């Protein structure tokens, strides 16, 4: 097996995971700096998002180390049961990371969907108010010219 697949690739993966961990911590620090400006729901969403993403990125780092170790446990032959258990644990880690990713996608979609719905409701309310005012202004101008403007 060539060096790329069993050393370089896991090291690149480890570097990527480390960069993600640093980016998540910085993003959380920015959120905490303006926590007083955020609502309770927004802050709770950001906190759980931070936890999910940190967990996933940390598992990615563990996976990278697991890939390196996995190659080394193949070199001196180990019992097939140990080999099988080791790779099953690695596979479970990958599945758990996938589930966390799906949870993050669903949570983000739900969170921003709720925000969007709030904006749609507010837009409908404002449009209704605008139509009401235009109707009042139109009625006032038809009856007596500028008299309708005093109703505003």
67 contacts 17 by C-beta, under 8 angstroms: no
Tell me what pLDDT residue 28 has.
Answer: 95
Q: How many CB atoms lie within 10 A of CB 60?
A: 19
Rounded CA gap, 86 and 78, in Å?
11
55 contacts 100 by C-beta, under 8 angstroms: yes
Q: What is the domain extent for residue 73?
A: 3-151
pTM of the model: 0.73
Per-residue pLDDT of the chain (152 residues; tens, 9 = 90+): 577 777 888 999 999 999 999 999 999 999 999 988 988 889 999 999 999 999 999 999 999 999 888 888 877 777 888 888 999 999 999 999 999 999 999 999 999 999 999 999 999 999 999 999 998 887 766 544 454 454 44
Tell me what pLDDT residue 152 has.
Answer: 46
User: What's the total number of domains in the chain?
Assistant: 1
70 contacts 83 by C-beta, under 8 angstroms: no
């Amino acid at each position: 097996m060539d060096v790329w697949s069993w050393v370089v690739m896991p090291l690149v993966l480890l570097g990527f995971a480390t960069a993600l961990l640093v980016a998540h911590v910085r993003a959380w620090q920015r959120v905490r700096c303006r926590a007083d400006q955020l609502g309770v729901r927004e802050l709770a969403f950001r906190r759980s998002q931070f936890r999910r993403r940190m967990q996933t990125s940390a598992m990615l780092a563990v996976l990278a180390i697991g890939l390196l170790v996995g190659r080394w446990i193949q070199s001196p032959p180990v019992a097939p049961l140990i080999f099988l258990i080791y790779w099953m644990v690695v596979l479970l880690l990958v599945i758990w990371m996938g589930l966390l990713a799906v949870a993050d996608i669903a949570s983000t979609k739900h969170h921003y969907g709720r925000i969007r719905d709030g904006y749609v409701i507010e837009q409908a309310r404002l449009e209704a108010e605008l139509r009401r005012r235009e109707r009042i202004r139109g009625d006032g101008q038809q009856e007596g010219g500028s008299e309708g403007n005093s109703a505003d």
